[in-house]
Amino acid sequence: MTKLEEFLSSLETSDTPDQVQKLVESLRDIYGVTNAIYHAVNLDGAPYAALTYSPEWMDHYQAQKYVQVDPVVRGALQHFHPMDWKRLDWSSKGSRSFLGEATGAGIGNQGLSIPIRGPNGQFALFTVNHECSDREWEVFSKEAKRDMMLISHFLHQQVVKIVMPDGPRQYERLSPRETDTLKYLAVGLTRGQIAEKLQISEHTLRVYIDSARFKLGALNTVHAVATAYSRGLITF
């Protein structure tokens, strides 16, 4: 059983907030990272969190109002795609001070955060972070980025079911990159051609394809393209 299969197997049986919290803790251990965090706002009008940060750090974060200088939060509000912390803007004095305190508190110097947007103003952020070298993080990202993309959306879907069990079935919005990927697939471009056109690696392209398939509930890539077209998300 792969790490992804192990996690998804546990996710299927998690139907309470306590079980989701334990699931996030298990995710940290399965992938060997320092922390795993899922935080959502506006789920049935209320926030929701399952994370492995210490209560002391969370209290300190809130007391210092670090949300105002946290580049991860700023980036998540502006972007759809996964964000490697190394590529965020940490140049301001407030951000550097925040980063120093975070790493000192054992948060981890490397991180990957994935914004998740849903209907009616739903917004969630899924993050894994780790204390390791740039080289170690590069290897982890290459091996696990696809898993993290899929896990973030599966986890969000499960939380929505728990928080709003009687709510109507809602579909997550495709990101601009996911839409472009399906559009180019629809007109017959190869994956290599699409990757070159979008100036991304074929590995990253696979992440967008898998994420789009999940959001659309598609069985395969052809099904994803057909579903996106039928909903008017792409045009030929």
Q: Which amino acid is at 187?
A: V
What percentage of the chain has pLDDT greater than the value 70? Answer: 96
**Model confidence at 168: pLDDT above 70:** no
110-134: per-residue pLDDT in tens? 999 999 877 667 789 999 999 999 9
Which pLDDT does position 137 carry in this prediction? 97
Calculate the average pLDDT of the chain: 89
Long-range CB pairs of 204-209, under 8 A, 24+ apart, other chains included: 204/145, 205/181, 206/146, 207/82, 207/145, 207/146, 207/149, 208/175, 208/177, 208/178, 208/181, 209/178, 209/181, 209/182, 209/185
Q: Where are the domains of the chain?
A: 3-163, 176-230
Return the pLDDT at 233: 87
Average pLDDT of the residues in 5-34: 92
Q: Average pLDDT of 153-165?
A: 87
pTM of the model: 0.76
Q: What was the pLDDT predicted at 164? A: 83
Cα 10 to Cα 2: distance, rounded to the nearest angstrom: 13
Q: Which amino acid is at 215?
A: K
Q: Which of 67-71, 86-90, 194-198, 215-219 has the lowest mean pLDDT?
A: 215-219
Mean pLDDT, residues 47-76: 94
Cα gap 119→174, rounded to integer Å: 11
Classified as helix, coil or strand, 60 is helix
Residue 173 is predicted with a pLDDT of 83
48 backbone dihedrals φ, ψ, rounded to 5° = -150, 140
CATH tag, 176-230: 1.10.10.10
Residues 6+ apart with CB under 8 A from 65: none
Range scoring the smallest mean pLDDT among 39-48, 75-84, 90-99, 166-175: 166-175
pLDDT in tens, 73-116: 999 988 778 899 999 999 999 999 999 999 999 999 999 999 98
* 154-178: average pLDDT: 81
Fold topology of 3-163: Beta-Lactamase (3.30.450)
Higher pLDDT pick, 173 / 63: 63
Break the chain down into helix, strand, coil percent, rounded to 5.
60, 15, 30
Fold match, 3-163 / 176-230: no
What pLDDT sits at residue 128? Answer: 98
**Residue 169: pLDDT above 70?**
no
